[in-house]
Amino acid sequence: MQRSSVNKVQLVGRIGNKPEGRFTPSGSSTASFSLATNETWVNADNQKQEHTEWHNLTAWNKSADFVTKYIQKGQLVYIEGRLRTRSWKDKDDNPRKTTEIICDTITPLEWKGESSEEKPTTVSEPGAEKGEEDLPF
């Protein structure tokens, strides 16, 4: 791998479904959920156009625990992470491929529902933010 490469994603969007939490056989928590981002523009005919892009996200460990406990469908969030592509074969032995975002930082920009419980403002995985001395180049 090149030492000067960067794999970083920053998104602001709305949660598409309640995060689904699970545990790996080794006991690590993980959660999968979707995020919608929208863009609008006016075309050459002066017509308003809109496009929604759906992103598949995966959170691990503390981030997974956080999203399954606090994050709701429709909530506006800020996500930082990195792209990861996985390949596998389905039950009919057809090759499948998906690209997802592995979440490093999740920050709610609004809260859904009322709760007297104190809600954290952000969660980051350890090692997600590297100081200048930790950069590989």
Q: What is the pLDDT of residues 81-109, one digit of tens each?
A: 999 999 999 999 999 999 999 999 999 99
Name the domain count of the chain: 1
44 lies in some domain: yes
Per run of 10 residues, the mean pLDDT along the chain (length 137 residues) is: 85 95 94 96 94 96 94 95 94 94 94 60 59 44
133 lies in some domain: no
Question: What residues are paired with 123 via a beta bridge?
Answer: 106
131 lies in some domain: no
Other C-beta atoms within 10 Å of 113: how many? Answer: 7
120 lies in some domain: yes
Domain of 95, in residue numbers: 9-125
- What is the pTM (predicted TM-score) of this model? 0.75
Contacts 24+ apart (CB under 8 A), 58-61: 58/30, 58/31, 58/32, 58/84, 58/100, 58/101, 58/102, 58/103, 59/19, 59/30, 59/31, 59/33, 59/102, 59/103, 59/106, 60/28, 60/29, 60/30, 60/102, 60/103, 60/125, 61/28, 61/29, 61/125
70 lies in some domain: yes
What is the DSSP code string of 93-112? S-EEEEEEEEEEEEEESS--
Q: What is the pLDDT of residue 111?
A: 82
